[in-house]
């Protein structure tokens, strides 16, 4: 039996999940899970990259202990964040988190060098203050980029630590706003205009490429050897592999909400730019979508309340609370990394002359309704830009479990909501590996399989 290890690391947690095929079923077993959160390092909001890698190794050891050795593995993470390495492979910079405020106002500086129109024409990527292009431009003021030899996105770096091979995977590279949408290569025009050295970037490889095998020291530590593949290493890229319905709009619902569709080719025109839609790379497709705030706001409310409520309990409070009509702009910058989310909502309401929530339930209701209205606006744009109507919405990811939010989405967006796969990202990661390893002839065959979920207790029998 061939086991495939999907390591899926999000902005709040990571997990190691084993997948295997039996006839027309894909079986799934979560073997390890860990918390991931940014922390202050040298006055910057950063990811603890050493801790991340430690957890990757720890989860791989669990596979060995369970005597379930994967024949292949792949890693996906969130997008935009990166590291720079010198000529001996040492880190030149802290791995700064996209929620750090040091590049809040860098976009306008970049637009003085290369216009929004030209940038969108080249890349087709949504303008967001934390895109890699703005992070890297800000970084160039603090360190000499000529000292860098390697630019690696987070999953690229983790794979480098495992294999010693330096590559840039396509789907995650598209989130940088530095990749040309037509050539799928690093855009030298943009890089040269911003005085970013072109030589630090590597060959762009596609999902389904075999990168190599584990370094000998890693093998000695974890107890097995395996092949390392490139999946769609941007987590949303892997998640978008799973739904199979051309009449459905996809919402990948997690810390962020990624709402969009598959297209055969990029859609790059003035209307698309004005609506701030993005053309990110996918598995032989373009993921045409918009990045919208997600469950982060609820996660932060939960944290502000010292985790006395579970997510389910919070949503029940929202459902039972007195109705509140206040709708906030969930994409407002102040909700990106506030000290206190509840106070940030209060400040926003005061500034906009809106009624403030008066209870925990009303804060939850306000957030969930505001998310649903943001989705409604995005769907209207999506249909206008693509000149077609979509019959329903497929929700995938952790948000599948948020029944309160999904009911609001259906009500406010006026169409049925299909509850998809909770672990869509990990499943898409594994599908990439399985297709590349010829377990399936194509994606349609993989999608047609029934998903069977196993528990650790079953695995340990």
- Annotated catalytic residues are 235
CA 420, CA 252: separation in Å to the nearest integer?
A: 10
CA 64, CA 3: separation in Å to the nearest integer?
A: 12
CA 3, CA 5: separation in Å to the nearest integer?
A: 7
Please name the residues in contact with 54: beta carbons below 8 A apart, sequence gap of 6 or more.
Answer: none
CA 11, CA 232: separation in Å to the nearest integer?
A: 17
Count Cβ atoms below 10 Å from residue 192 Cβ, excluding itself: 11
* Nearest to 396, CA basis, from 298, 294, 326, 277: 294
209: tokens are 């490429």
* Nearest to 332, CA basis, from 367, 379, 287: 367
Backbone angles phi, psi at 17, to 5 degrees: -125, 130
CA 332, CA 440: separation in Å to the nearest integer?
A: 43
CA 38, CA 111: separation in Å to the nearest integer?
A: 29
> Beta strand pairing status for 13-22 and 25-35?
antiparallel
> Beta strand pairing status for 256-263 and 39-41?
unpaired
Place of tokens 């093998």: 219
Is 29 within 8 Å of 420 (Cβ atoms)? Answer: no
* Nearest to 421, CA basis, from 299, 202, 239: 239
Q: How far is CA 332 from the centre of its chain?
A: 19
Is 304 within 8 Å of 338 (Cβ atoms)? Answer: no
CA 76, CA 78: separation in Å to the nearest integer?
A: 7
300: tokens are 């932060």
Please name the residues in contact with 323: beta carbons below 8 A apart, sequence gap of 6 or more.
Answer: 365
**Is the Cα dihedral 151, 153, 156, 160 positive or negative?**
positive
């Amino acid at each position: 039996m061939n086991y495939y290890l999907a390591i899926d690391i999000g902005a709040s947690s990571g997990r190691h999940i084993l997948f295997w095929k039996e006839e027309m079923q894909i079986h799934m077993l979560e073997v390890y899970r860990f918390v991931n959160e940014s922390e202050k390092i040298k006055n910057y909001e950063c990811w603890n990259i050493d801790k991340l890698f430690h957890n990757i190794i720890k989860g791989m050891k669990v596979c060995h202990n369970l005597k379930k050795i994967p024949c292949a593995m792949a890693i996906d993470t969130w997008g935009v964040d990166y590291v720079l390495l010198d000529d001996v492979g040492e880190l030149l910079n802290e791995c700064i988190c996209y929620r750090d405020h040091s590049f809040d106002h860098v976009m306008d500086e970049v637009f003085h060098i290369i216009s929004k129109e030209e940038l969108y024409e080249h890349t087709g990527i949504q303008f967001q203050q934390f895109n890699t292009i703005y992070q890297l431009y800000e970084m160039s003021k603090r360190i000499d980029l000529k000292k860098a030899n390697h630019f690696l996105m987070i999953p690229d770096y983790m794979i480098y630590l495992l294999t010693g091979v330096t590559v840039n995977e396509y789907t995650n590279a598209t989130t940088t706003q530095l990749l040309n949408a037509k050539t799928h290569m690093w855009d030298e025009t943009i890089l040269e205009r911003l005085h970013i050295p072109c030589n630090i970037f590597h060959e762009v490889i596609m999902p389904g490429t075999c990168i190599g095998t584990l370094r000998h020291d890693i093998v000695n530590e974890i107890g097995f050897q395996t092949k390392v593949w490139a999946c769609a290493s941007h987590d949303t890229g892997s998640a978008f592999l799973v739904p199979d319905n051309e009449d459905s709009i996809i919402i990948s619902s997690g810390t962020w909400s990624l709402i969009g569709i598959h297209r055969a080719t990029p859609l790059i025109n003035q209307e698309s730019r004005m609506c701030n839609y993005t053309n990110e790379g996918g598995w032989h497709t373009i993921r045409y979508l918009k990045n919208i705030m997600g469950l982060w706001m609820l996660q932060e409310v939960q944290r502000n309340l010292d985790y006395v409520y579970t997510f389910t309990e919070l949503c029940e409070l929202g459902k039972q609370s007195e109705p509140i009509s206040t709708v906030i702009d969930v994409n407002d910058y102040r909700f990106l990394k506030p000290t206190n989310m509840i106070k940030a909502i209060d400040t926003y309401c005061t500034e906009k002359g809106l009624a403030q929530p008066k209870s925990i339930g009303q804060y939850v209701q306000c957030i969930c309704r505001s998310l649903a209205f943001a989705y409604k606006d995005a769907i209207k744009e999506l249909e206008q830009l693509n000149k077609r109507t979509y019959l329903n919405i497929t929700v995938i990811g952790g948000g599948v479990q948020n029944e309160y939010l999904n009911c609001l989405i259906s009500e406010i967006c006026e169409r049925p909501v299909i509850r998809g796969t909770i672990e869509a990202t990990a499943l898409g990661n594994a599908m990439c590996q399985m297709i590349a390893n010829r377990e399936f002839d194509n994606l349609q065959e993989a999608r047609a399989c029934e998903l069977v979920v196993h528990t650790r207790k079953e695995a340990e029998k």
